């Protein structure tokens, strides 16, 4: 009889613990927070938490810190480079915006969105300088744009070569020409 009572009590305690955790498992934000506490050196979890903070809109700096932590853990995490670029833009950190966007452009999963941000940024920047009517500033910005675009094109061409190794010949991307 005592054994039966002990088994019932253990079963009930296990049920209470499991049922209280079900709420956590059903809330992806809460689950990410719990996972981050348990595994603070996980790049994906830091990136997910960065996205949660950004989407809440109340802690852009915190989102930025967690994204930087993710890239510190896994430097080639392309989605994080794109996230850092977007956060940098929001925080008016222009150099970080450009640096991380340049790392996101050559990646197959982030190429389209990153390149769209690249074109928008440089179009707006060059148009603003042109409106100001300062020829020396225009020349300086255009030179910077050209230098950075050449670097991006080089990295993109190298990535396309790698992508092509996974594709049949009739599906491979052309590498010649400009972006």
- For 91-115, how does the pLDDT look when each residue is reduced to its tens digit (9 = 90+)? 999 999 999 999 999 998 898 999 9
Question: What is the pTM (predicted TM-score) of this model?
Answer: 0.77
| Mean pLDDT value across the chain | 85
Distances (CA, A) of 170 to 82, 160, 173, 176: 30, 14, 9, 16
64-74: average pLDDT: 97
Whether the pLDDT of residue 118 is over 90: the answer is yes
Tokens representing residue 30 in the block = 């809460």
Q: Rg (Cα) of the chain, in Å, rounded?
A: 24
Q: Residue 70: count other Cβ atoms within 10 Å of its Cβ.
A: 26
Separation between Cα atoms, residue 114 and residue 108, nearest integer Å: 10
Confidence at residue 179, expressed as pLDDT on a 0 to 100 scale: 45
33-43: average pLDDT: 93
What residues contact residue 42 under an 8 Å CB cut-off, 6+ apart? 35, 36, 73
């Amino acid at each position: 009889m005592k054994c039966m009572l002990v088994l019932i009590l253990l079963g009930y305690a296990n049920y209470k613990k499991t049922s209280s955790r079900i709420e956590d498992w059903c809330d992806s934000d809460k689950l990410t927070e719990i996972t981050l506490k348990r595994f603070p050196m996980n790049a994906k979890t830091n990136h997910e938490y960065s996205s949660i903070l950004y989407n809440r809109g109340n802690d852009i700096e915190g989102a930025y810190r967690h994204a930087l932590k993710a890239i510190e853990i896994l430097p080639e995490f392309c989605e994080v480079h794109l996230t850092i670029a977007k956060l940098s833009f929001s925080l008016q950190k222009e150099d970080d915006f450009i640096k991380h966007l340049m790392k996101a452009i050559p990646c197959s999963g982030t190429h389209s969105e990153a390149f769209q941000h690249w074109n928008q940024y440089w179009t707006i920047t060059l148009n603003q300088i042109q409106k100001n009517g300062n020829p020396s500033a225009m020349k300086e910005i255009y030179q910077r744009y050209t230098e950075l675009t050449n670097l991006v094109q080089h990295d993109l061409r190298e990535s396309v070569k790698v992508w092509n190794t996974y594709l049949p010949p009739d599906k491979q991307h052309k590498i010649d020409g400009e972006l």
